[in-house]
Each structure stands twice: as C-alpha cells, then as structure tokens.
Amino acid sequence: MRGILSDAALIIVDVQNDFCPGGALPVTGGDKVVPILNIYIKRFREENAPIFATRDWHPNDHNSFKENGGIWPPHCVRGTSGAQFHPGLDISGDVRIISKGASPKDEAYSGFQGTDLAAELKKKGIKALYIGGLATDYCVKHTVLDAIKEGFSVFFLEDGSRGVDVNPGDSKKAIDDMTLAGAKKVLSYEW
C-alpha cells in the first residue's frame, strides 16, 4: 500500500565514507545524517516508495582533484573504500544507485547531471522528491535545484544534511538558495 508518499521518491545524496569524519573530504558531522536518513529509508520502504542513492564515483584522474587543476583533495575514487556508502546507511537491494562524476572531465555535483535519474523518476510517475545527504552546499544543493528545474516538488531534509562550509555560512546560503527556488524544508521529527 502506498499512502501519502504515493507519488514521492527519496533521494539520498553522497553519504559516502570520504565525506564522513576520517574520510578524504570530511564534512563536519557528516556521519550524523545516517540515523536520520535511515528513518526516511524505513518509511519509504514501508510505503513501497522508490529510494535512490547517488554517489560521487570519480576516476583517479578526475578534474575536480587539486593535482588535476581542481579545488578538492582526491575523494570518492571509484572502487576505493572512501567511495563506499557509510556502513551504517540502510542501503539494500531495493535502493537504486546513481553514480555521477564518473568521467575525468565531468564534475557533476548534481545527481541529475549526466545520469538517467530524471527519466527514471518520470517513468515511475514521481512528482515529489525528498532530498538530503552530503554536502548541503554542493551536491545536495545542485541536486535540489536541478530537481526543481525538472518540475518536481522538492522537500529538503534539513537534519538529514550537512555542509562542507569551505567559507563560513555556505550551507546557510545554500539552504536560502534552495528555499528561494521553491524547496520546502522538512525535519525528521516533524515529518
């Protein structure tokens, strides 16, 4: 049975070891999103609503890495443990994995960029997306903004997301940008 989530999907963004404490590009408190996102996974699973998990999946010569002229330390190199999902995330066979940034010159902060995510969602008749994960000010923001451009209603999972904050305030500004574009903020305990 599908209830209020009958036309909704959950999109979990880049909850990978390299973005968690101890990883190559750690987000402060990145691992704290795991139990929150697991609550959403359980709920979507119960309602047979589709669940997607994006992952940064870079080749080791990716152009976002400092040694190749980019701004980031090497991270989420495909096939490494840093690129694996956080071990506590409740990912199982029913979660569709979307890999992005997989070619050397393809930055792809957004889960929609260079993937068939939009087509898959539309084929399933999905209208609303619940989006959260890492990092608020990069991949979550770009995924949310693209989702809105694609015509979806978007709910941003506020306590299920954390930012990098390369510059202080970046995450706050990202949240403002997302809400201004039409995303609605939701908290796990209000939901």
Residue of the chain from 8, 9, 14, 20 that contacts ligand VGL (CB under 6 A): 14
Alpha helical stretches, state H, 52-169:
117-123, 141-149
The question of whether 173 is a catalytic residue gets the answer: no
Q: Can you give 10-48 as a three-state secondary structure string?
A: EEEECCEHHHCCCCCCCCCCHHHHHHHHHHHHHHHHHCC
DSSP 150-186: TT-EEEEEGGG-B---SSTTHHHHHHHHHHHHT-EEE
Residue of the chain from 20, 139, 175, 183 that contacts ligand VGL (CB under 6 A): 139
Does 138 bind ligand VGL (CB under 6 A)? Our answer is yes
> How far apart, in whole angstroms, are the C-alpha atoms of residue 39 and residue 45?
10
The one catalytic residue in 139, 141, 146, 159 is 139
The question of whether 184 is a catalytic residue gets the answer: no
Q: Which of residues 55-94 bind ligand VGL (CB under 6 A)?
A: 56, 64, 72
Does 130 bind ligand VGL (CB under 6 A)? Our answer is no
The question of whether 76 is a catalytic residue gets the answer: no
Nearer to ligand VGL, 49 or 163 (CB): 163
Q: Residues interacting with ligand VGL, by CB under 6 A?
A: 14, 19, 56, 64, 72, 134-135, 138-139
Active site residues: 14, 100, 139
